[in-house]
C-alpha cells in the first residue's frame, strides 16, 4: 500500500469512487481511495438508482446530465454492466400550476441540452394504459434518463479507476488530518470485523497526501469534527417499498411492451418504477426525521431503519389510485435508509473553508445521479484550477459560521419534505426563521415586509398589505406574475419617480488594511484602485481568469479599504480573500482582513428625491451643499452625520437613480430607520424590497453575482471593459485574455406573455437555433414590459439583434438593447442639488 499520494479520496460510495476515477482520468497519478468498510456500504447500496435529469439548477442539471452520459460508457470501458435502464422519466401533473412548474423548469433543462416533451393525459394513456390518467393535467417526459443499479455502477467506476492506476484500500478509516504546509498527513486506522461489528484495530498508518477529498456520506459530521469546520450535511430517513408481482404488469411486458418510464407523481409526493414484475414506490413524505445529527453510531454499518408504513400511507393509497392494477400486489420488501441532505438540497462540493488542498464532496441526496458529474467537475477544479461550469451554487462555503447542528437538521428535514412541493422560483421556505435579523426587522415587519432568506438573514423582498394574513406571501407565489408583483411595481416606480429606502444590511463587508493592503488589492482585483475618499466597482478573478467576486471598494485611507460584496456569499468571499492575502503577504507585506458584516447595517436610499430626504436630517455646517456634486460627487464616500447617527455614506445606487448607501453602526439602525422614515414622509418615501431592486438594476444592466457573474465567465465576457484595467497586472489577467470572448452578456427587452416575466433561467433562440440563455429576468417599469440579461454567442451580441425567449413552452420576441437601456448617460445618478 502506498503511503505518499497526490490525492487521497476518503469514502468509497458512488461519489468518492467517481471522484477517484475522474482524478485519474484527468491525469493525476498516485490517487488513492479509502473506505472504512466495503465499497458501497454507505447510502449507496440501498439507493433506488433513479437518475432524474430534471432539475431546477443550471449547475446540477449539467452534473446530472454528465452522469447519465458517462454511465452509458462504463460497460465498454470496464466490461461491467451497471444495469442502466434508459426507460425515461414521466413527471405527471395533477394541476395547471404543476404544468406551469414543468414549463418553467423545462427551459432550464433546455439550456443544458436535455431533451423533453409535454404529453396530454390521452397521450399518456395511449402509451401506458396501466396508468390511471384521471385527475391529470398532463406530464413532462424526458426519455434519456432512467435508473441504474447503484452498487454495480460504483463497482464499474471502481474497476475503471483501478485500470487507471487508482489504489483502492478497504477497511481503512481516516481518523485525523494534519496540514503540514505542503501536504496532509492523514492518520488511518485498520478496521476489523468482530462479531458482525466493524471495529478499530490497533494498527495505524499515516498517509501523506498533497490533496484530500472527503466523500464520507452519512459520516459528514465526524469528518467536520476532524477537520474543525462546519458541514451542514445531516441525513434524513428515506423509505421505499417493493411490491410483489403485478399480474397486469407482467402481462403488459409479456405482450412485448417496453418497460414503463420512472413515473413521478409529484402531487402525490412519490415515484414509481418497475422492479421484477412488481413496482418500487419511493416516497418523500412529511415528518421524516433527521438522523445521526451528532455522527453515525459505531454499530451502524450497511443497516436500515424499520419501515414506518403509517408515515407513507397516503402515498401508498395514491399509487393504488394511479396504477390500480397494483392493488392486489403484496409488499415484498422495504428500505428505510439514511439519505444525506443539506439545508438547500444541493450537495457541498468544492474547497473546504479555511483549509488548503482539502476538498469536500458531501451532503448528496441524489448521489447516484450526481456522482458521475461531481467526479468530473470536481476533478476539473482540482487539476485545472476551475470547472467549466460555475460550481458556486454547490460551494461548501455558502453557509457561514452562523450555521448550527440544530439549523442544519431542521432545515434538512424541511428540504426532504419539500422535494415534491411546487418549486416556485419566488419560493421562500419557512423552517428555522427568523434567525438572523437586523434591528429594523420588527419595524419592517410591522410595515408589511415579506422577507426573503439570504445567507440566514431576513431581507425584505417586498412590502405587502399591512393587514396581510400570515400566509399572504405563500399564497402570492406563482410561476407567472405572483400576488406580490404589483407591490414590486409600485416600489420600483417609487424609486424611479420619488424616493425609496432599501435594506441592504445583508451585504458582505470586509475591512482590508495594513502595509500590504494596496499592493495586494491592486493584484487581487482587475480595476484601478480608487483614490482616497472614492469608490470603484471591481472584480476578483479566479486563477482561471473568470469572475470570483464583485466588489465595491471604498478607499478610506492610503492603506485602508472597505470592501462590499454580495450578501449571500460572506464565507465564500472571506475564504478566498484570506487565502489569497496569506499567499501574497510575503510579497506585499502585512495585510489585515476583518469581516465586519454584522457590525454595519446598510440602508440604500434612492430616487430623485433622495437628496431632499437626507438634507433634512444631515448635520453639517452647510446642510444645503453637503450632498451636492461638489462636496459629495458620484462614486465617492464621506463620513456624515444623520441626526445622531454616524454614517459612512457612499454615493452609489444599485437601482440606477440618484442615491446613497448609508453604512451605519448596527446598534443604531433603529434610530436611523425612524429618522429617515420621518424625514421621508413629506416626500412620499416608500420602503422597497429586493424584488423591485432586482428589476431596476436590470434596466441599468448592472450584473449580479450568481446570475451574470460567476466562475464560468470572465469579466470581459460579462462585457465590463470599463472595470478592467488592462494596463496593470492582476490575478487571472493572462488567463482571462487567453479565454477570449466565448459568449457575451447582453440586456434584452422581451415581449413576453401578458401574465408572466422571465425568471432568468430561460433558453434564448435565434430562429430555431438555441444560442444562449437568460441569467436574470423580471419586469421593467420604465419600458412596461419584461426585461432580462443573459449570454449569447458573441457574433449575435449586437444592439438590435432580434431573438426569441422560451417561456411557458412558447417562443416570445426579444431584442438586444444597448447596455443600461434606462438612462444610459447616467444623468439622473449625477444630478446636482
Give Cα separations from 88 to 262, 607, 708 (angstroms). Answer: 6, 52, 33
CB of 50 to ligand FAD, least distance (A): 4
Q: What is the DSSP letter of 397?
A: G
Longest dimension (CA), the chain: 92
Listed in order, strand segments (DSSP E) in 96-233 are: 117-119, 138-142, 167-170, 172-179, 184-194, 197-214
User: For residues 33 and 713, which CB has a smaller minimum distance to ligand FAD in the complex?
Assistant: 33
CB of 374 to ligand FAD, least distance (A): 9
CB of 304 to ligand FAD, least distance (A): 8
User: For residues 319 and 745, which CB has a smaller minimum distance to ligand FAD in the complex?
Assistant: 319
Which residue from 743, 758, 739 is spatially nearest to 808, judged by alpha carbons? 758
| Positive/negative CA dihedral, 750, 97, 459, 472 | positive
Give Cα separations from 747 to 488, 776, 780, 810, 820 (angstroms). Answer: 21, 9, 12, 20, 8
Contacts of 137 (CB under 8 A, 6+ apart): 93, 94, 95, 96, 98, 99, 121
CB atoms within 10 A of CB 310: 8
Cα–Cα dist 776/760, whole Å: 4
In degrees, rounded to 5, the angle at the alpha carbon of residue 9 between the alpha carbons of residues 341 and 112 is 55
CB of 274 to ligand FAD, least distance (A): 14
Counted residue by residue, the chain has a size of: 833
Q: H-helix or E-strand containing 414? A: helix 405-417
Do strands 167-170 and 31-35 pair parallel, antiparallel, or not at all (unpaired)?
parallel
For 762, half-sphere exposure in the C-beta direction (CA atoms, 13 angstrom radius) is 34
CB of 198 to ligand FAD, least distance (A): 9
CB of 81 to ligand FAD, least distance (A): 18
- Torsion angle defined by CA atoms of residues 522, 543, 694 and 537, in that order, rounded to the nearest 10 degrees: 10
CB of 301 to ligand FAD, least distance (A): 8
CB of 372 to ligand FAD, least distance (A): 10
User: For residues 39 and 668, which CB has a smaller minimum distance to ligand FAD in the complex?
Assistant: 39
Tell me the DSSP string of 231-254: ---EEEEEEEEEE---HHHHHHHH
CB of 94 to ligand FAD, least distance (A): 22
User: For residues 18 and 549, which CB has a smaller minimum distance to ligand FAD in the complex?
Assistant: 18
User: For residues 368 and 517, which CB has a smaller minimum distance to ligand FAD in the complex?
Assistant: 368
User: For residues 48 and 517, which CB has a smaller minimum distance to ligand FAD in the complex?
Assistant: 48
CB of 383 to ligand FAD, least distance (A): 20
User: For residues 248 and 302, which CB has a smaller minimum distance to ligand FAD in the complex?
Assistant: 302
User: For residues 169 and 811, which CB has a smaller minimum distance to ligand FAD in the complex?
Assistant: 169
Question: What region, left, alpha or beta, does residue 119 occupy, with left being phi > 0 and alpha being psi -120 to 50 degrees?
Answer: beta
Which residue from 130, 127, 153, 141 is spatially nearest to 52, judged by alpha carbons? 141
User: For residues 192 and 624, which CB has a smaller minimum distance to ligand FAD in the complex?
Assistant: 192
CB of 280 to ligand FAD, least distance (A): 9
And the C-alpha cell for 825? Answer: 448617460
Cα–Cα dist 565/568, whole Å: 9
CB of 829 to ligand FAD, least distance (A): 49
CB of 19 to ligand FAD, least distance (A): 9
First-residue to last-residue Cα distance in the chain: 76
Backbone angles phi, psi at 408, to 5 degrees: -60, -45
Give Cα separations from 81 to 24, 161, 166, 375 (angstroms). Answer: 21, 15, 20, 20
Site residues, ligand FAD (CB under 6 A) = 10-16, 34-37, 41-44, 46-50, 173-174, 215-219, 238, 240, 335, 337-340, 364-369
Backbone angles phi, psi at 99, to 5 degrees: -65, -40
User: For residues 203 and 755, which CB has a smaller minimum distance to ligand FAD in the complex?
Assistant: 203
CB of 185 to ligand FAD, least distance (A): 15
Do strands 457-463 and 449-454 pair parallel, antiparallel, or not at all (unpaired)?
antiparallel
And the C-alpha cell for 237? Answer: 430517513
> Cis omega (within 30 of 0) on the bond before 434?
yes
Amino acid at each position: 500500500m502506498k503511503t505518499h499520494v497526490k490525492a487521497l479520496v476518503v469514502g468509497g460510495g458512488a461519489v468518492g469512487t467517481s471522484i477517484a476515477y475522474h482524478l485519474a482520468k484527468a491525469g493525476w497519478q498516485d490517487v488513492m481511495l479509502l473506505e472504512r468498510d466495503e465499497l458501497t456500504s454507505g447510502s449507496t447500496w440501498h439507493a433506488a438508482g433513479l437518475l432524474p435529469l430534471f432539475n431546477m439548477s443550471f449547475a446540477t442539471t449539467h452534473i446530472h446530465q454528465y452522469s447519465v452520459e458517462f454511465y452509458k460508457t462504463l460497460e465498454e470501458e470496464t466490461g461491467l454492466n451497471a444495469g442502466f435502464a434508459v426507460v425515461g422519466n414521466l413527471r405527471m401533473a395533477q394541476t395547471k400550476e404543476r404544468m406551469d412548474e414543468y414549463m418553467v423548469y423545462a427551459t432550464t433543462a433546455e439550456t443544458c441540452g436535455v431533451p423533453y416533451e409535454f404529453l396530454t393525459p390521452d397521450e399518456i394513456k395511449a402509451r401506458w394504459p396501466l396508468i390511471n390518467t384521471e385527475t391529470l393535467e398532463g406530464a413532462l417526459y424526458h426519455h434519456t434518463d432512467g435508473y441504474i443499479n447503484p452498487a454495480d455502477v460504483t463497482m464499474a467506476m471502481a474497476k475503471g479507476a483501478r485500470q487507471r492506476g487508482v489504489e483502492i484500500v478497504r477497511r481503512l478509516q481516516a481518523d485525523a488530518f494534519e496540514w503540514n504546509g505542503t501536504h496532509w498527513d492523514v492518520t488511518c486506522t485498520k478496521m476489523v470485523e468482530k462479531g458482525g461489528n466493524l471495529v478499530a484495530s490497533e494498527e495505524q498508518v499515516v498517509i501523506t497526501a498533497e490533496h484530500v477529498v472527503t466523500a464520507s456520506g452519512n459520516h459528514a459530521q465526524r469528518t467536520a469534527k476532524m477537520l474543525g469546520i462546519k458541514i451542514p450535511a445531516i441525513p434524513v430517513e428515506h423509505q421505499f417499498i417493493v411490491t410483489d408481482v403485478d399480474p397486469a404488469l407482467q402481462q403488459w411486458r409479456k405482450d412485448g411492451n417496453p418497460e414503463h418510464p420512472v413515473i413521478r407523481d409529484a402531487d402525490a409526493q412519490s415515484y414509481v418504477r418497475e422492479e421484477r414484475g412488481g413496482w418500487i414506490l419511493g416516497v418523500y413524505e412529511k415528518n421524516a426525521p433527521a438522523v445521526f445529527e451528532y455522527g453515525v453510531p459505531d454499530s451502524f454499518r450497511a443497516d436500515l431503519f424499520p419501515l414506518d408504513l403509517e408515515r407513507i400511507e397516503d402515498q401508498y393509497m395514491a399509487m393504488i389510485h394511479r396504477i390500480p392494477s397494483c392493488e392486489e400486489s403484496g409488499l415484498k420488501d422495504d428500505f428505510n435508509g439514511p439519505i444525506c441532505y443539506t439545508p438547500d438540497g444541493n450537495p457541498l462540493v468544492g474547497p473546504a473553508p479555511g483549509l488548503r488542498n482539502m476538498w469536500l464532496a458531501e451532503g448528496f441526496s441524489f448521489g447516484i445521479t450526481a456522482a458521475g458529474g461531481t467526479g468530473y467537475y470536481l476533478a476539473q477544479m482540482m487539476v485545472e484550477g476551475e470547472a467549466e461550469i460555475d460550481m458556486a451554487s454547490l460551494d461548501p462555503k455558502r453557509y457561514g459560521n452562523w450555521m448550527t447542528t440544530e439549523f442544519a437538521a431542521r432545515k434538512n428535514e424541511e428540504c426532504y419534505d419539500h422535494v415534491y412541493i411546487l418549486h416556485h422560483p419566488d419560493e421562500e421556505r419557512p423552517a428555522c426563521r427568523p434567525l438572523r435579523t437586523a434591528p429594523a426587522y420588527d419595524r419592517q415587519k410591522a410595515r408589511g415586509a415579506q422577507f426573503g432568506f439570504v445567507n440566514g438573514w431576513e431581507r425584505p423582498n417586498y412590502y405587502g398589505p399591512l393587514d396581510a394574513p400570515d400566509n399572504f406571501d405563500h399564497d402570492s407565489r406563482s410561476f407567472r406574475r405572483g400576488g406580490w408583483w404589483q407591490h414590486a411595481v409600485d416600489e420600483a416606480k417609487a424609486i424611479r419617480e420619488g424616493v425609496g429606502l432599501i435594506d441592504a444590511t445583508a451585504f458582505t463587508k470586509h475591512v482590508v488594511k495594513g502595509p500590504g493592503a494596496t499592493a495586494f488589492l491592486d493584484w487581487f482585483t482587475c480595476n484601478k484602485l480608487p483614490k482616497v475618499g472614492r469608490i470603484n466597482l471591481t472584480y476578483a478573478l479566479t486563477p482561471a481568469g473568470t469572475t470570483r467576486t464583485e466588489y465595491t471598494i471604498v478607499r478610506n485611507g492610503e492603506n485602508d479599504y472597505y470592501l462590499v460584496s454580495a450578501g449571500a456569499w460572506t464565507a465564500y468571499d472571506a475564504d478566498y480573500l484570506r487565502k489569497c492575502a496569506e499567499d501574497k503577504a510575503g510579497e506585499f507585506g502585512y495585510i489585515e482582513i476583518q469581516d465586519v458584516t454584522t457590525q454595519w447595517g446598510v440602508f440604500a436610499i434612492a430616487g430623485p428625491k433622495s437628496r431632499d430626504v437626507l438634507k433634512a436630517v444631515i448635520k453639517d455646517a452647510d446642510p444645503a451643499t453637503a450632498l451636492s456634486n461638489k462636496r459629495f460627487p458620484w462614486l465617492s464616500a464621506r463620513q456624515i452625520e444623520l441626526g445622531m447617527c454616524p454614517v459612512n455614506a457612499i454615493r452609489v445606487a444599485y437601482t440606477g437613480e440618484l442615491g446613497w448607501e448609508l453604512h451605519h453602526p448596527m446598534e443604531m439602525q433603529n434610530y436611523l430607520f425612524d429618522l429617515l422614515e420621518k424625514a421621508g414622509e413629506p416626500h412620499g418615501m416608500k420602503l422597497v424590497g429586493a424584488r423591485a431592486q432586482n428589476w431596476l438594476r436590470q434596466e441599468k444592466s448592472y450584473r449580479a453575482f450568481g446570475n451574470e457573474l460567476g466562475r464560468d465567465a470572465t469579466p470581459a465576457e460579462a462585457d465590463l471593459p470599463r472595470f478592467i484595467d488592462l494596463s496593470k497586472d492582476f490575478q487571472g489577467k493572462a488567463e482571462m485574455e487567453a479565454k477570449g470572448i466565448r459568449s457575451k452578456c447582453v440586456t434584452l427587452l422581451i415581449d413576453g406573455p401578458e401574465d408572466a416575466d422571465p425568471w432568468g433561467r430561460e433558453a434564448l433562440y435565434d430562429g430555431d437555433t438555441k444560442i444562449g440563455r437568460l441569467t436574470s429576468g423580471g419586469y421593467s417599469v420604465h419600458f412596461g414590459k419584461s426585461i432580462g440579461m443573459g449570454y449569447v454567442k458573441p457574433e449575435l451580441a449586437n444592439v438590435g439583434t432580434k431573438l426569441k425567449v422560451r417561456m411557458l413552452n412558447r417562443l416570445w420576441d426579444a431584442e438586444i438593447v444597448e447596455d443600461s437601456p434606462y438612462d444610459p448617460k447616467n444623468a439622473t445618478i449625477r444630478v446636482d442639488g
